[in-house]
A and B are shown apart, each in its own frame.
Chain A
């Protein structure tokens, strides 16, 4: 019998209690399955609850642990996967679109296989913006599941495109989730749902079995209650995979004890055009960080960062969805702007795409040099708190909003972790991101974890979702 509810318990703590046999994986899984069934439809955060598979995996984990075969920190812990990750066994993988609601695969994405080998339990496929938002959506209602809602306010959007991954963790429906980011799709829901999200270095996690939107920009990563949990999860899902030629040979072992320069950079003008309360919370975070770090404004080279990232995304997605486009299938998408989104991008010229890739090389070298003096670059995760679910938003991908950190980080495949850093007067969470050089996840996770150990934002959860309100 459990002495304490596993809901909103960190992965580290839950893992420890499972290992010490204080908590049963089967019991934990049943609790989270019940919450997925109850709250999933309320928040539009779930596409499929994988009950049978979860109970089977939970029983297996319990048997293994009871017989002394403990596999590691995720053994016996339920999780959810963004519904663009292929899952075998007849479980649909909808890519967030009605058109693909019956789509199934006869194999598992590598990240799903790795988590199974770690003993984690797949409890749900989580909602997402249709086709990972790649068709240029400008509103939350762009998904087979409806607009996904923030745990903090059901009238506000959970962010996208890994909407369900953010909302399900923030609602306490799963202890962690896997999301994907091409430009902003992990960090945005982490921000809007008041949780932690890690965009790993490009190639750190195999993309095999994940819907391709933009081959050189797509990354898979964890969303969880803390940066520390993200580190534990990344260790289990990273590594070379022969099925993904871009996957890195650099092994990742989570280790918070990393050397630091005690210096953080803020790209000059990155705070222009941001919401006043987001700015205010960020300045409070800076004042806190100043006790340990020198914080310096940085001038980065004058290059068309957003235009490079946007051109790469448009050209690659146009090719990835060529067949879809040629058949006119966009007409079946939910958001009106997604129905014509694929066509204009077919006019990106090859020479302009290649020019973007050449400028990317210059950017990579110069930003690498600029970042060498710092442990990380920091900024507010998003310019605004969560927007209303029935409003259009201004997105950087479509060029309607500025996001230099996102453009630089995604074009160059740099890791970034977002953690909560406060609330607005309407009790909407805001976030701060720590972006590091390639393959320096340990450094940014370490800084973010220290920040969280000295703050309480990540330990706050919506009152109506706390376990005491369970019937």
Chain B
């Protein structure tokens, strides 16, 4: 386990250790290694400051008969 994996495992173990059985610990370590491996692949992608997450936030407004509740920029 490298340092990042160890820290994440410690976090998981501290929070959920009482739910985890001894024989499951190795599996959880493997899963954390996969998560860190995924994260490192993501971190290698260089994005400019302007690239935003692919999700659009819409302020909520109460739907009415004439308004679907979605943003109307008129």
Contact = CB atoms under 8 A, between A and B. Distances in A.
Say if A and B assemble together: yes
Interface of A: 136, 216, 240, 242, 245, 303-304, 307-308, 310-311, 314, 325, 328, 330-331, 337, 339-341, 343-349, 352, 354-362, 364, 398-399
A308 B63 CA distance: 34
A133 B11 CA distance: 25
Nearest to B13: A343
**SS class, residues of chain A in contact with chain B:** helix
Given A304-B41, A308-B42, A311-B39, A347 B54 contact: no
B47 interface: yes
B34 A359 contact: no
Contacts of B12: 343-344, 346-347
A340 B28 contact: yes
Give 10 closest A-B pairs by Cβ, nearest first. A344-B31, A357-B53, A361-B54, A304-B41, A347-B8, A328-B19, A307-B41, A340-B24, A307-B38, A360-B54
Interface string B29-60: 00110110111011111010001111100100
Contacts of B38: 304, 307, 310-311, 314, 352, 399
A330 B68 CA distance: 39
A465 B56 CA distance: 48
A360 B18 CA distance: 36
Contact of B27 (A307, A314, A337, A358): A337
A357 B42 contact: no
B66 interface: no
A344 B28 contact: yes
A242 B63 contact: yes
Interface of B: 8-9, 11-12, 15-16, 18-21, 24, 27-28, 31-32, 34-35, 37-39, 41-45, 47, 51-55, 58, 63, 68-69
B54 A344 contact: no
A343 B34 contact: no
A343 B35 contact: no
Nearest to A215: B55
Contact of A242 (B24, B52, B53, B69): B69
A221 B68 CA distance: 25
Nearest to B43: A355
B19 A362 contact: no
Contacts of A340: 19-21, 24, 27-28
A311 B40 CA distance: 11
B56 to A, nearest CB: 10
**SS class, residues of chain B in contact with chain A:** helix
8 contacts: A242-B63, A311-B35, A328-B16, A343-B19, A347-B9, A348-B39, A357-B53, A364-B54
Given A344-B35, A347-B32, A360 B53 contact: yes
Contacts of A341: 31
A345 B35 contact: yes
Given A245-B58, A307-B42, A359 B19 contact: no
A4 B50 CA distance: 62
B47 A359 contact: yes
Contact of A349 (B28, B39, B51): B39
B45 A355 contact: yes
A442 B21 CA distance: 50
Contacts of A361: 51-54
B16 A343 contact: yes
Contacts of B58: 245
Nearest to B69: A242
Contacts of A136: 31
A216 B58 CA distance: 15
Nearest to B5: A347
Nearest to A311: B38
Nearest to B28: A344
A343 B28 contact: yes
A414 B53 CA distance: 18
B54 A355 contact: no
Contacts of B31: 136, 341, 344-345
B58 to A, nearest CB: 7
A362 B42 CA distance: 12
Given A303-B45, A344-B12, A398 B34 contact: yes
A216 B55 contact: yes
Contact of B35 (A314, A328, A331): A314
Contacts of B47: 355, 358-359, 362
Contact of B42 (A330, A344, A359): A359
B19 A347 contact: no
Nearest to B53: A357
Contacts of A348: 35, 39
Contacts of A399: 34, 37-38
Contacts of B43: 352, 355
A358 B54 contact: yes
Contacts of A358: 47, 51-54
